[in-house]
Chains A and B, each alone.
Chain A
Amino acid sequence: MATFPYPEALANLFYTQGPDLVGLYDLALGWFTQVNPAGVRLLGYASEAEFLADPDHSLRSPPWTGAQWQALCDRAQHEGHVQVQANIRHQTGEALRGYLELAYFEAESRQLLLVRLSAQGRLQQAERELAHSVRRFEAVVTNATIGIIVCDRPGSIVSANQLAGQFFGYEPEALLGQQIEVLVPNAAGRHHEQLRENFNAHPQVRSMGGHRALLGQRQDGTVFPVEVSLSYFHLDDELYLVAYILDISLKKAAEQELLAQHQHVARLNADLEQQVADRTHALLVTLQQLEKRTAELTQALAAEQELGELKSRFVSMASHEFRTPLTAVLTSADLIGSYPSSAQQPERLKHVQRIRSSAQKLNDILEEFLSVGRLEEGRMAARPTRLDLTALLPEALSDVQSLVKPGQTIDWQLNCPEPVQLDASLLRKVVVNLLSNALKYSGAGTIVTVRAACHEQLLTLSVADHGIGISAEDQTHLFERFFRARNVTTIPGTGLGLYIIARYLELMGGSIALQSALNEGTTVTITVPYENDITN
């Protein structure tokens, strides 16, 4: 240990001040001339000699340049004393927070600084850090945007932040010491204490109300929707529960609003769809009506056309069929006038007969028209009476004798021995018509074959000729009023015959069928059901 040329007090200072660096700094030298062992240790030197011999002459404080250090020394020289908080670097590079005091004095004509560097203690540092940490923590908790409540195991609130108080309508301090249950509506009914006990037994971090609405109760008794997360911590073997609380009134309101909007939109959509459906339906109905109307119009047009065609057919027929007998009547009447003498009586009689037969022809045509009228008015009905076909057929044959052409023959066979119940008048008209058609539309020298049979209450009668026949196209119109096949337009006829007899057969419950080929001939077959005659 070196001797100290300085006052005893200073020496004491060196060695009694525990952990601080104390040293003498010679301003002229620019470095320490003495330093205590604590200082050597503090700055990490092996010995005082090493320290004093350090050629850097620096306290290794990087922020300080040589000029700054010089300025500090100058200040100490002028003001006598300087204190600064400083960051000193340990020789090993470790940072050291320190408190530097420089005191200027002169001794033995040397300008000296008494330098004292006290490192700030670890505890001191830890205390300050703890204080900071607590302040930070408090700031975080206090100003958190989530309500935070800490309670102990029995459920007594030990801490609550501002927002938590605000949520529940309490001053934050007013919550302290309260049971957590005061914040839960109907806590008793919901076994909240039991739930809390369960949580205490198996504490875990979890969120509540994620799937269902939880409610919080304010001091004034009103409730509001909350979302709660729970966590816990142990402090000195004591369990503390932490509840993080969010007031989700606004969120819920927004959700409600959103839901309402959704419902509104859904309703609008449904309305729209309904409207579309209604309109579509209306459109379809209109379309159907339109189609129906079109069909009606088409039908009306067809009826109109048919009527027009009927009219022209009638005019064409009437002009010829009426005019021919009328011409005969007129010319015969004129000729009668040309035979005044009694010797000419045979001539006159011939013309009288001609007039009579022409009038008869006109009457027949008129009769046909009237038949059509009666048929269409539904005024005709079949009146079955006792009918002997073996008598009816020869009568019909004699009716058509005048139409038989030279060499034409009628070959007939009848197999109906028993009398039947049928309308004789209608049946006779039918048979006469078929026979006259066959004779009219087949040539001289041909045979007309007639076959009739009664079997199981059904009369079947066919008339076959070898005449001009009917084309397939004309066959489809054959039973229409005034229709004449195209190959018979030069042959007199009203075009009513087949129409009338088809209706007569209908009245009798019978039917008519026709087979024909052009230039080969026609076979017409009628079938009529009858009742057996039981009058005898």
Chain B
Amino acid sequence: MKTILLIEDDEDIRDNTAEILGLAGYAVQPAENGRVGIALALATRPDLVLCDIMMPMLDGYGVLAMFTQNPQLAGVPFIFLTAKTELTDLRRGM
């Protein structure tokens, strides 16, 4: 079973997304912020990361930076889930 790390601070969105992915047959590890997400990822290397950008403590860009810098986590597919729609935000996430 593929494991998906879901990092999202809004409880409703996190629950619903986890629920949808669970129904689709994935093992979902929900995290309410970037720091928790990194800890979970280091404990169990996920097959995919779904990450919000606007979060307290550590935002999505910070989480991505940690993933690319950490050799243990480098190469994990990473998808931003965000309400940010501006071009500069898109560019920053690449």
Residues of A within 8 A of B (CB): 319-320, 323-325, 327-328, 331-332, 334-335, 338, 351, 354, 357-358, 489-492
| Chain A residues whose CB sits within 8 angstroms of the CB of B23 once the complex forms | 335, 338
Nearest CB in chain A: distance from B12 CB, A: 4
| Chain A residues whose CB sits within 8 angstroms of the CB of B56 once the complex forms | 490-491
**Candidates B9, B12, B85; contact of A328 at CB < 8 Å:** B12
Query: Would A320 and B17 count as touching, CB distance under 8 A?
Result: no
27 pairs, CB–CB < 8 Å, chain A vs chain B? A319-B84, A319-B85, A320-B83, A320-B84, A324-B10, A324-B13, A327-B13, A327-B83, A328-B10, A328-B12, A328-B13, A328-B16, A331-B16, A332-B12, A332-B16, A335-B16, A335-B20, A338-B20, A354-B16, A357-B12, A358-B12, A489-B54, A490-B9, A490-B54, A490-B55, A490-B56, A491-B56
Nearest CB in chain B: distance from A58 CB, A: 141
Which 9 residue pairs spanning A and B have beta carbons closest together? A331-B16, A323-B83, A328-B12, A320-B83, A490-B56, A490-B54, A319-B83, A324-B10, A354-B12
Chain B contributes a number of interface residues (CB within 8 A of A) equal to 17
From residue 44 to 94 of chain B, which have CB atoms closer than 8 A to chain A?
A: 54-56, 59, 83-85
CA–CA, A351 and B20, complex, Å: 12
CA–CA, A358 and B59, complex, Å: 23
CA–CA, A46 and B50, complex, Å: 169
Query: CB-defined interface of B1-42 with A at 8 Å, one 1/0 digit per residue?
Result: 000000001101101110110010000000000000000000
Per DSSP, chain A at the interface is helix
| Chain A residues whose CB sits within 8 angstroms of the CB of B54 once the complex forms | 320, 489-490
Which B residue's beta carbon lies closest to that of A312? B86
Cross-chain pair count, CB within 8 angstroms: 46
**Candidates A324, A334, A489; contact of B83 at CB < 8 Å:** A324
Query: Would B20 and A334 count as touching, CB distance under 8 A?
Result: yes
Which A residue's beta carbon lies closest to that of B33? A490
Of the listed residues A323, A351, A490, the one surrounded by the most CB atoms of chain B closer than 10 A to its CB is A490
Nearest CB in chain B: distance from A472 CB, A: 22
CA–CA, A323 and B13, complex, Å: 11
Which B residue's beta carbon lies closest to that of A354? B12
| Chain B residues whose CB sits within 8 angstroms of the CB of A335 once the complex forms | 16, 19-20, 23
Which A residue's beta carbon lies closest to that of B59? A490
Nearest CB in chain A: distance from B87 CB, A: 13
Of the listed residues B12, B20, B84, the one surrounded by the most CB atoms of chain A closer than 10 A to its CB is B12
- A320-B54, A357-B12, A490-B56 are known; give 17 further A-B pairs, CB within 8 A: A319-B83, A319-B85, A320-B84, A324-B12, A324-B83, A327-B16, A331-B13, A331-B16, A332-B16, A334-B20, A335-B16, A338-B23, A358-B12, A489-B54, A490-B55, A490-B59, A491-B56
| Chain A residues whose CB sits within 8 angstroms of the CB of B84 once the complex forms | 319-320
Which B residue's beta carbon lies closest to that of A347? B19
| Chain B residues whose CB sits within 8 angstroms of the CB of A358 once the complex forms | 12
| Chain B residues whose CB sits within 8 angstroms of the CB of A320 once the complex forms | 54, 83-84
Q: Using known A-B contacts A489-B54, A490-B56, A491-B56, determine if residue A331 contacts B20 with beta carbons closer than 8 Å.
A: yes
CA–CA, A186 and B83, complex, Å: 116
| Chain B residues whose CB sits within 8 angstroms of the CB of A490 once the complex forms | 9, 54-56, 59
Of the listed residues B9, B13, B20, B59, the one surrounded by the most CB atoms of chain A closer than 10 A to its CB is B13
Nearest CB in chain B: distance from A73 CB, A: 146
Which B residue's beta carbon lies closest to that of A339? B23
CA–CA, A319 and B56, complex, Å: 17
CA–CA, A491 and B85, complex, Å: 17
Nearest CB in chain B: distance from A283 CB, A: 49
Nearest CB in chain A: distance from B34 CB, A: 10
| Chain A residues whose CB sits within 8 angstroms of the CB of B9 once the complex forms | 490
Nearest CB in chain B: distance from A8 CB, A: 166
Nearest CB in chain A: distance from B9 CB, A: 8
Nearest CB in chain A: distance from B62 CB, A: 10
Nearest CB in chain A: distance from B1 CB, A: 19
| Chain A residues whose CB sits within 8 angstroms of the CB of B19 once the complex forms | 335
Nearest CB in chain A: distance from B33 CB, A: 9
| Chain B residues whose CB sits within 8 angstroms of the CB of A332 once the complex forms | 12, 16
Which B residue's beta carbon lies closest to that of A351? B16
CA–CA, A331 and B83, complex, Å: 14
| Chain B residues whose CB sits within 8 angstroms of the CB of A328 once the complex forms | 10, 12-13, 16
| Chain B residues whose CB sits within 8 angstroms of the CB of A491 once the complex forms | 56
CA–CA, A491 and B52, complex, Å: 13
Nearest CB in chain B: distance from A436 CB, A: 16
CA–CA, A327 and B12, complex, Å: 9
CA–CA, A335 and B20, complex, Å: 7
